[in-house]
Amino acid sequence: MINDAMPAKAAAQRNSLHYRFGRTALVLAMLLVLLGIAVVAANPFERQPDLFLVRQIQMGMTEAEVTTIFGDSPTTTTPWQIDRLYAPTKGQGVAKYWYCDAGIVRVFLGNDGRVVSVNQHRYDREVEKPTMRKIREFLRRIGLL
């Protein structure tokens, strides 16, 4: 009786390990598929326009002409990096933003749809937040930075 139970128990353990391995492989395969879908959806290889193209924008150009320079459609949502730099414009026109490789371009279009002003904001020129500055200063004083 003991001899008959031992092979059955060993077979059950082998099946259990095989089942666990198969289940783990299935979960890993599903994660890889989801990762692939996320990469395709995010399109990290999409090339952003060059920030130096801002030099080609001239006053009086239309939005269509600016769009052909950048090759991408703009957004009217103010980016969080520059949301406090400009006063709201009420009825004077609309600001359009293009995300470029090294910064953000803000083009202000007047009521007639023509460029009134152009500004560029580089990503590496971000102002350090006061709280972070205080933390860094404190760490320098105690010798940790």
CB 114 within 8 A of CB 108: no
CA distance 141 to 71: 49
pLDDT in tens, the chain (145 residues): 455 555 666 656 666 666 677 778 888 888 888 887 777 666 656 677 888 888 899 999 999 999 999 887 888 888 888 877 877 777 788 999 998 888 889 999 999 999 999 998 887 755 667 777 788 888 888 988 7
- Beta strands, E only, 27-145: 93-99, 103-110, 115-122
The reported pLDDT for the residue numbered 61 is 93
Question: What burial letters (b/e) apply to 43-75, b meaning 16+ CB within 10 Å?
Answer: eeeeeebebebbeebeeebebeebbebbeeebe
> Which residues are CB-contacts of 9 (< 8 A; sequence separation ≥ 6)?
none
The answer to pTM > 0.75 is no
**H or E stretch including 129?**
none
Going by their DSSP bridges, the two strands 93-99 and 103-110 should be labelled as: antiparallel
Cα radius of gyration rounded to whole Å, the chain: 29
Tokens of 26: 């299935």
